[in-house]
Every structure is written in structure tokens, then in C-alpha cells.
Amino acid sequence: MSSLVEKVREDWQEFKREEPVAIWTTYVTVVVLVWLLAPTALYLALTGVLYLAWRRWMIGARCRSVASLEGKTAVVTGANAGIGREVALELSRRGARVIIASRDVSKSRLAAAGIRSETGGEVIVKQLDLASLASVRQFAAEIESTEQKVHILVNNAGMLMTERRKTEDGHEMMFQVNFLGPLLLTHLLTKRLEESAPSRIVNVSSMGHWFTDFDLSDLDGERRPFEVWRRYGTSKLCQILWTRELARRLRQRSVSVFSLHPGVVNTEISREQRDRWWYSATLHGILFSYVFRSAKMGAQTAVYCAVEPGLEHESGGYFADCAPGWSSAQAKDDKLAARLCEEAERMLDIKLVSA
């Protein structure tokens, strides 16, 4: 063995004497490669760490409450898919009797069957089309006649339109589905919620409320060009303002009201965007698989607002990631909130509950 080592050493010394250029070329190559690749490796490692941090932040917080909902009844709108289905699933898992309220009854039945198979709970399906105020009234009448109690109302259903459309009631479609319809539904179910106190109303809004063309004298946006994100933002701002005013009016009746931002979530609310020239199914899949959050994680803050013990003192608040969220200055304007509710009363020809 020692002779073999000695032979290798002698061979190496001879090689160095005979091939100095090769030796120095190798040294230089190694140094250059280290100089080039070390920063690249560092960049790649840093990119990986930053992506994981970004991904963890985008996924959001999880509702840690283990509160039971045994004996409670919850109504969840738009619960046949996406965030609404995940909220309904979690409430059912905690023992609640869940009523899925959505426009597509066949799809809702499939969702209900899936939830029952996972939780073994009671899940009921009823039709509700927020684009029709008559449908809202019919649904509320059914609840009044069949349900003795309603402990939780989650106004989750919403839409994102790419062009101006009007409902059969004459209102801009997105504004009615995201705001007027839920407001009317809540108004019609307020009596049941009061009788079931302590109860909660949860309004799924959006950080999109920061981007708005809000004009109290033109809530349907008829006097300006249709800009999808500003119209969407206006409807979501109205949800937050209405939440504040409704919480003020119901504070002495043990009915708590919350609004929230669920995060940027892969749901069917963006289905209207699929017909746009710039839409890419591949890019959409990549973004929502590796960058943004799932419907399950998007439902966490709504579940938190529905079940977290001791949250009553935060009634009227805006939440994100299972904690108080950062809303715009407009969204905190109580005088504007009161004036909005007065205008909504006029548009719907109703009288909202007084403080």
C-alpha cells in the first residue's frame, strides 16, 4: 500500500514538472468557477428562502379556535364551491346545522353531499339568487317559516363582472350581488338572528375596497365608464361601511357583525375573466398553485369571525388573517356608513333596524 502511495506521489510530481500549463489552467478554472457559482448558489438559496417566506405570508393564518357549534344553525351563501364551501364544511365539522344558499341548486347538492360524507352533519340546500331581490325575499321567507333559530349568517356569495350588466331590479349586477342583495337578506333575517342571540353576521369583503369610484349619489355607477376593479371595490367598500353601521345598531341586541378580507384566493369568482383576451389558464394555474392561497385557507378568517370566543367586543371590525385588518380611511368613516345605509334603504324601499 505504501509503495502505491509513493508511486502516485512521484507520478504527480512528474506531471507537475511536465505539464505546468495544465496545472495552472486547472487552478484558474477552479477559482473562476467558485467565483461564478458561489454567488449564483447564494442567490438561489436566498430566492428559495424569500419564496418560502412569501408563500407562508400569502397562505395566511389558520383559525385556531376549537369552539363547538353543537345545536347551532348557520346560513352560508355561495357555499357550493370555493371559500363558501370550505366555511360550510368547517362549521359542519364543529357540529353546526348548515344551510347552503346559492343560485345553482344541483351544484349545491353535490357540495352538501360531499360535506355530509366528511362530517356526518346535517346540511340543507336552498336556492338563493342575489341578482334577484324577489329570490332574496322568497329565501328569507322560507327561513322564517322553517327555522326557529339562525345563529350564524355568512354573506359569502359574490361576483366579479368584466362588463356592465343590470339585474331584473334595475341595479348594476355586481353592486347588487355583492352589496344590496346581502344587505336585504340580512335585514330580512335580523329578527331570527336577534331571537337566536348571541349570534353573528360575517360579511366576506376584500382588500379591493381600497380601489373604488365610490359616489354616494351614483352607487350603481351609471354616470361613469364601467371599470371592473373600481366597481368591485365600491361594492366591497359598501360591505365594510354597512358592517360598521349595522354593528352599531345591533350592539345592544347581542348580534355581532364582522367584515373581512379572505386573501387572494383561487375561487370561481374570477370565472368571468376567462373570456378576456389576456387570460391565460396556464398562468392562472401557476399563480394560484404556487403563489396565492387555497379556498381552504381563504375560509379561515371567515370561520374565525364566526366562531372565535370573545370577539363580540370587536363587532363592526374588519379582519384579515384571523386578526384585525388594515382598512382604508373611507372604510372607517362612520358618518359615511350611516349615509350609505340611508341610501340603501331608499334603493330597496325598506327600513333597516334602528339602534
Residues noted as catalytic: 232
CB 128 within 8 A of CB 135: yes
What torsion, rounded to 10 degrees, do the Cα atoms 217, 223, 225, 228 define?
Answer: 30
Centroid of chain to Cα 126:
23
User: Would you tell me how many other CB atoms lie within 10 Å of the CB of residue 95?
Assistant: 15
Q: To the nearest 10°, the Cα dihedral for 168, 173, 175, 180?
A: 30
Q: Which residues of 184-212 are buried (b: 16+ CB within 10 A; e: fewer)?
A: bbbbbbbebbeebeebbbbbbbbbbbebb
Q: Which residues pair with 116 in a beta bridge?
A: none
HSE (CB half, 13 Å, CA atoms) of 130? 25
Nearest-CA neighbor of 32 among 42, 24, 43, 22? 24
Phi, psi of 24 (to 5 degrees): -70, -35
User: Does the N-terminal peptide bond of residue 324 adopt cis geometry, omega within 30 degrees of 0?
Assistant: no
Q: Are 136 and 181 in contact (CB under 8 A)?
A: yes
HSE of 21, CA atoms in CB hemisphere, 13 A: 0
On whether the CB atoms of residues 258 and 319 are closer than 8 A, the answer is yes
Q: Which three cell numbers stand for residue 355?
A: 339602534
